[in-house]
Amino acid sequence: MRPLKLTMQAFGPYATKQEVDFTKLGEKTMFVVSGPTGAGKTTIFDGISFAIYGKASGDDRSGADLRSQFTQDDTLTEVSLVFELRGKRYLIIRSPQQEKRKSRGEGTTTINSKAELYELKEDENQLLASNVREVDEKVDEIMKIDCHQFRQIMMIPQGEFRKLLVSESKDKEKILQKLFHTEHYKGIEDKLRESAAHLRKQVERSMLERKSYIDRIQSQGNEKLGELLQSEHVNIKDLLQELKMVIEEDQGSLTNFASTITSKEELRKLIETEIHHGNSLLEQMELKDQLLELKQKLEARQPDFQKIVEAIQLAEKAAILFQHEERSIEAARQVVTKEQELQNAQNLIESLTTLLKEKQGRLQEEEENASVREAYRQEIGRLQLLEKDILSFLTIEQDVKRLHASLETLKENKGKYESQLTKVEEQQESLGKEKEVINEAKLKKAEVAVQISSEERMLERVTLLLTNKKQLITLENQFSNTEDDRDELEETMTEKNAALESLLDSWNKGQAGLLAQHLGDDHPCPVCGATDHPNKATIHGDMPTEAQIKEARQVVKEVELEKQKIDSLYYEAKSKFETQMDQVIKLADEVSENLPQPLRSASLEELQEHYEDKCQQLNQELKQLEEKIGSALKVDEQIQLLVSQAQKVKELLTKCTDEHESLYTSYIEKRGEYKRLIDTLPEELRNENEYRHQVASQQQRLKKLETAYQEAQTAVAETTRKIASVEGSLSSLQKVVTELKERQKELQQTFQDKLQELGFSSIIDYSEGKLPEIEVKRLAEKVQSYREELRSVTDRYNDLVVRLTNIEKPDLETLNNKLQAVLGEISELQEQRNILYHKVQTNTNIYETIESINKQMASVEEEYKTVGELADIAAGKNTYRITFERFVLASFLDDIIKAANARLNRMTNGRYQLQRKTERSKGNAQSGLELLAFDQYTGGSRHVKTLSGGESFKASLSLALGLADIVQSYSGGVSMETMFIDEGFGTLDPESLENAIETLIDIQSTGRLVGVISHVPELKERIDARFEVASTQSGSVVKYYGDTVSM
């Protein structure tokens, strides 16, 4: 970036508009700015910084504080800068927020900050941004560095570069953070710390979970396991080994239980088989008595079934005779049918003969109409010859009417267009005057819009700060409540764990007594296998039940789960509260930085109300201006519309005149032809529809006569054919009737003969013997079912009589008593086995779960060793007490020192070299970024704070130049072709001054423009181009001395 022209008005000590034209330097790349103290030399650099970034070159001077006290109240503070960057020229204009005397009345009004950015081109100036926010964004885009980096690269204000030299590590860290944007390295530190904390919590949660499972181990019957569980510090490895042995021993006891229960089950099955056999014998004896009774009942019903058999035999004979009866009836029915068909044929012949006579009469009438049909044909031919003239007449008649109507329309339109043209010209004159009245609104709108943008941005920040403060209070209350809940749950968890341990202790002591209750003489112990039990254990006091222990464990588990949830909520609430606090502080700083001085003592609510009122006032003013501008735009559109309308009306008028002349010629020609056809055609045929109607009517009449004639011919022929057909079938029917009567007589005689042959005395006797086929079938099935049932009952009875001979009745009562005794023993054994099985299952599950937890803990602990160590190292818990971010910053600082020493070596004739202090500071002080000066004369290093004024200036200048080089090299794409140095040369001796000047000459040899503020005469002598700043009673002025180059 190279400045070309700086213009300042009412800025700092400059009351009137002052220009600093750097283009006058021409090819010179070094200049001096001189003048008395307080005249405004540094303000030139403040103006450049303010123009680009809206901030001055020093931290203690803001844009709003730089308004000139010499200027008139109605003169606005404004700074503009023309600069060149990467081959393009830009113009930036800024004015800070300021107070201006009201145009009417007393007091002042606040003018918000403004900014505009243009790209200067040969043909036009292109507006890139028109308000402060947009300009700031565009500046960041084209400059590619922020304000802090710009100061270090291009501007070195009074005292600024010495801060970096002598500051402590902590302060130097903040400076370098802003320059190199190393916040993401801090983020890596935080991420490592969070990961380590998360892993540590995982291990703690796993240990708590493992302890809860250890507390559930059932150790009854094993003294060593009980002692391990009761020890203050449980040895997990020994505990798991002993638990595994206990599980294996209990599993062996379960096997013994299974063998004993199997033997008892086999005895039970044997007894049940005997009982089943006895029940079967009793059932057979009862069945024999039941079958004897059923057999006697069936034999008593035999006469009834004999009568059914006789009825079936009679029905079968009637069925044979029924076939002959059916054939005789069918023959009689056929005779009746054919006689009816014969009568119908005779009646049809009579009807058809009468119809034929009628059809022949109709045919004769139609033959007599032959002359009428010929007359219609001739008339149709005559009409068809006139068709061409009729159609031509209709077309020409329509053309004449159309042309006449068009001529009348054009005549009417011509008058209308002439009237419209007069009216449009009058409206154009009126709107031209109206436009001049409202043009001033356009000039005011841009100024008000910039004010609204600034005020709305402040309102948004204040409102956001208020909202965040309210959220902070809410989050603080949530954090406090969660912390109280967490403490309360910790107490509850301690109480519930103590209660569970007490129950488990009582349970373990009572298990031995419970097992002893089920031991009997000569029965093996399920634990040790012994059959002798001289000293059985007893139950002391009230032993808790499994349900009570299970309930207590569930309570502990629920409390632990609730504790985990509360812990999660606690850390989440804490994180949200701290994050919100940072956000509120950040927003408060932003609001305070941009507040004008009169409002800095106001509360947030008062600020919100102030900016809301201000925005409302400005928006109302903007709305009024926009209404005026909208009206002006409407007037422009109306004027343009009227111009267009006038042109269109003129074109239409010309077109209308031309069309009228052309159509009038065509109209005269068509009207002559129309009169000729009027004289030729009859009036009734001049209408096409009437003509078409007459032709169609004649054709329809002819078609009707021809159709009637054809239908009469067809009817006579068809009737004659039908009579011949019926007469042919009549003789055939008479023969068939005679044959059917003879066959019917023969079949009737056959039926009578068969009736006597089958033994029926009469037709009545035959009718009574007939039964439906389905009824005969049902009776036959009933007889068959009876016979089969009688045979089955008899056979089964005889079989049981043989099998139960010499068999005694079984004693089932004795067998059932034996079975109940065996079942009792099995139940007792199963109960003891279930108790032991539950213990094995519980301990096995606990063993496997603890093993799984141990594996998970080992994995997490291994990961924590790495992550935790990295987190500690990154956080500065290392030999050099340096954080990860500071380590990166130290690397940047080493690059800066290397670049600085190249210049310091020359300015001090090789005496001094800057070094970074790597030794750890005393106590907990942060270190790693402090600077030392190595003295070649003494061979030792000392703190840069011990350097003299001149030595300190050389070191500071070298460090600043090195910093500028490194920042620019790390800021890719940054182009800084200018550097300004403010004061400090007066502390140098002649030789040091010469070395410093040579160093600056080296800088300008690279193409950089170097400007120096100094009172040193030698600089004015060595550098012939200078800007002289002079103080006057009405403000400072700037003049250029040196060869002027015309641009």
The pLDDT, as a whole number, for residue 972 is 60
Closest CA to 408 of 396, 400, 398: 400
The pLDDT, as a whole number, for residue 7 is 94
Confidence class for position 887, pLDDT limits 50, 70, 90:
confident
Q: What percent of the chain has pLDDT over 90?
A: 5
Confidence class for position 117, pLDDT limits 50, 70, 90:
very high
Closest CA to 1013 of 220, 37, 65: 37
Confidence class for position 59, pLDDT limits 50, 70, 90:
low
CATH number of this structure's domain 307-378+692-769, picked from the four choices 1.10.1060, 1.25.40, 3.40.190, 1.10.287: 1.10.287
Residue 102 pLDDT greater than 80, yes or no: no
The kind and range of the H/E element at 18 are: strand 18-21
Segment 1006-1016 mean pLDDT: 77
Give the lowest-confidence range in 296-300, 445-449, 555-559, 785-789. 445-449
The pLDDT, as a whole number, for residue 138 is 92
Distance CA 982, CA 155 (A): 8
- Asked if 543 contacts 506 with a C-beta cutoff of 8 angstroms, the reply is yes
Q: Which residues contact 138 (CB under 8 A, 6 or more apart)?
A: 117, 128, 129
Segment 291-313 mean pLDDT: 82
Report the mean per-residue pLDDT for the chain. Answer: 80
Confidence class for position 537, pLDDT limits 50, 70, 90:
low
Closest CA to 120 of 145, 85, 154: 85
Segment 43-66 mean pLDDT: 74
Residue 685 pLDDT greater than 90, yes or no: no
Residue 50 pLDDT greater than 80, yes or no: yes
Summarised one tens digit per residue, pLDDT across range 615-667 is 888 888 888 877 777 777 677 778 888 788 888 888 887 888 888 778 878 87
The pair of structure tokens assigned to 262 is 């199997």
The pair of structure tokens assigned to 104 is 């009417």
Residue 6 pLDDT greater than 90, yes or no: yes
Q: Long-range contacts for 768-773 (Cβ within 8 Å, ≥24 apart)?
A: 769/314, 769/315, 769/317, 769/318, 770/315, 770/318, 770/319, 770/322, 771/311, 771/315, 771/318, 773/319
Q: What percent of the chain has pLDDT over 70?
A: 89
Report in angstroms the alpha-carbon separations of 921 from 85, 167, 360, 642: 45, 15, 146, 86
The pLDDT, as a whole number, for residue 404 is 82
Summarised one tens digit per residue, pLDDT across range 248-264 is 888 888 888 889 889 98
Residues in the chain: 1047
Closest CA to 139 of 51, 228, 202, 233: 51
Report in angstroms the alpha-carbon separations of 136 from 55, 146, 548: 11, 10, 72
The pair of structure tokens assigned to 838 is 């539950």
CA angle 233, 238, 243 (to 5 degrees): 110
Q: Which residues contact 755 (CB under 8 A, 6 or more apart)?
A: 321, 763, 766
Segment 449-469 mean pLDDT: 82
Confidence class for position 1047, pLDDT limits 50, 70, 90:
very low
- Asked if 979 contacts 154 with a C-beta cutoff of 8 angstroms, the reply is yes
Greater pLDDT, 539 or 1011: 1011
Could you write out the three-class secondary structure of 258-273? HHHHHHHHHHHHHHHH
Segment 122-149 mean pLDDT: 85
Closest CA to 929 of 165, 59, 51, 55: 165
Confidence class for position 61, pLDDT limits 50, 70, 90:
low
The kind and range of the H/E element at 591 are: helix 546-594
The pLDDT, as a whole number, for residue 82 is 94
Could you write out the three-class secondary structure of 518-539? CCCCCCCCCCCCCCCCCCCCCC
- Asked if 550 contacts 542 with a C-beta cutoff of 8 angstroms, the reply is no
| E strand intervals along 860-1018 | 912-916, 931-935, 940-943, 978-982, 1009-1013
Summarised one tens digit per residue, pLDDT across range 277-300 is 888 888 888 888 888 888 888 888
The pLDDT, as a whole number, for residue 877 is 81
The pLDDT, as a whole number, for residue 83 is 92
Residue 76 pLDDT greater than 90, yes or no: no
Residue 871 pLDDT greater than 80, yes or no: yes
Closest CA to 118 of 87, 97, 139: 139
Summarised one tens digit per residue, pLDDT across range 809-859 is 778 888 888 888 988 888 888 888 888 888 888 889 988 998 898 898 888
Q: What is the CA radius of gyration of the chain?
A: 63
Residue 751 pLDDT greater than 90, yes or no: no
DSSP-assigned letter for residue 36: -
Place of tokens 């030392």: 932
Confidence class for position 19, pLDDT limits 50, 70, 90:
very high
The pLDDT, as a whole number, for residue 143 is 84
CATH placement of domain 2-144+978-1041: 3.40.50.300
Place of tokens 């005026």: 628
Confidence class for position 8, pLDDT limits 50, 70, 90:
very high
Q: Which residues contact 360 (CB under 8 A, 6 or more apart)?
A: 716
The pLDDT, as a whole number, for residue 161 is 64
Beta bridge partners of 943: 932
Confidence class for position 514, pLDDT limits 50, 70, 90:
low
- Asked if 238 contacts 228 with a C-beta cutoff of 8 angstroms, the reply is yes
Distance CA 485, CA 491 (A): 10
Closest CA to 45 of 1033, 1012, 1023, 862: 1012
Segment 879-892 mean pLDDT: 83
Give the lowest-confidence range in 167-181, 602-616, 805-819, 915-929. 915-929
CA angle 254, 258, 261 (to 5 degrees): 135
The pLDDT, as a whole number, for residue 208 is 85
Confidence class for position 686, pLDDT limits 50, 70, 90:
low
Residue 682 pLDDT greater than 80, yes or no: no
The pLDDT, as a whole number, for residue 94 is 92
Q: Where is mean pLDDT largest: 103-117, 461-475, 498-512, 567-581? A: 461-475
The pLDDT, as a whole number, for residue 979 is 79
The pLDDT, as a whole number, for residue 81 is 94
Residue 538 pLDDT greater than 70, yes or no: no
Segment 433-446 mean pLDDT: 67
pTM for the predicted model, two decimal places: 0.43
The pLDDT, as a whole number, for residue 1045 is 47
The DSSP annotation for 646-701 comes to HHHHHHHHHHHHHHHHHHHHHHHHHHHHHHHHHHHS-GGGSSHHHHHHHHHHHHHH
Residue 416 pLDDT greater than 60, yes or no: yes
Distance CA 261, CA 117 (A): 100
Q: Where is mean pLDDT largest: 140-154, 420-434, 469-483, 990-1004? A: 469-483
Distance CA 681, CA 394 (A): 11
Question: What type of residue is 980?
Answer: F
The pair of structure tokens assigned to 341 is 């068909």
